[in-house]
Amino acid sequence: MARFIQSCPRTSTGPEDNNLGKVRNFFHLHMVSDSTGETLMTVSRAATAQYENVQAIEHVYPLVRSVKQLDRAIAEIEGAPGIVLYTLVDPEIAHRLERACRELTVPCVNILDPVFKVFQSYLNVTLTGRIGGQHALDADYFSRIEALNFTMLHDDGQIPGDLNEADVVLIGVSRTSKTPTCIYLANRGIKAANIPMVPGIALPFQLDEIRHPLVVGLVASAERIQHIRQNRVLGINPVGRLNEDYIDRKMIAQEVALTRKLCAERGWPLIDVTRRSIEETAAEIMGLLREHRAEAMSGQTL
């Protein structure tokens, strides 16, 4: 039987929220890691998202590498029983956690164990047991840092002179998530720049001269952009006069239409982000980038 600790009516978060008035059930979710805990959070949130009206109260215990640190986590688990997920390389610490969870009669899962077993069976290799191996300061790590620096320097149309050094250039009207998408891409080692489409302001001429980067247009529905812009303007200047053109739906629709036309004329792929998360948008861009690079390599070998 599920052990939900509380429930309450969910409040509306915007015009697209269809769960108004529904009861949302909460449960404790404990994540114990000898590294950052990012893997656990990603997996647990993906799993929780599959259950309607269920919300996890997250307890994260990162960098648990000693018995003393683990015992503090176990004490909190005892005080707020719930599901326990863990990634612990040290077998002594892992066994201690599993034993404590059995005594508390709470479920406890090593989320990487099935993956490790498949790898060992298929590759016939020995597990190294290296804590935080995915966070090693290797060439890929420094490549991501370089990409992030590039992306921050080239946000919102800055320094257009070296756009050709980018891997991806995003264009779009205000509030189409260009900046957060670029940052997400940078964390994957992709140098991303973004250029805003502003009525009455020409795009930088360098955009016509670049050859290396993939250029992608981002659009959203006029209704969605209007809603985001209104919230942003009121948040910045709650008592001041609103920029009527900036939040006018007809003007926004014209901006979106101009972006669509420009991308069609120049053969740039276009992504509608109206109902997409940043991760989904970035995933499609990375797929387009792979195709773009493959075409470039094919052209060089001809």
Q: What's the CA gap between 218 and 208, in Å, rounded?
A: 18
Q: Is 287 annotated as a binding residue?
A: no
Please say whether the beta carbons of 286 and 185 come within 8 A: yes
Q: Is 68 annotated as a binding residue?
A: no
179 annotated ligand-binding residue: yes
Q: Is 174 annotated as a binding residue?
A: yes
**Residue pointed to by tokens 């406890």:** 108
Which tokens in the block code for residue 168? 């991806």
Ligand-binding annotation for 275, yes or no, is no
Residue 176 assigned to a binding site = yes
User: Are residues 119 and 165 in contact, defined by beta-carbon separation less than 8 angstroms?
Assistant: no
Q: What is the dihedral of CA 246, 251, 254, 259, to 10 degrees?
A: 0
Is 173 annotated in a binding site? The answer is yes
250 is in an annotated binding site: no
Known binding-site residues equal 172-179
Known binding-site residues for ADP equal 172-179
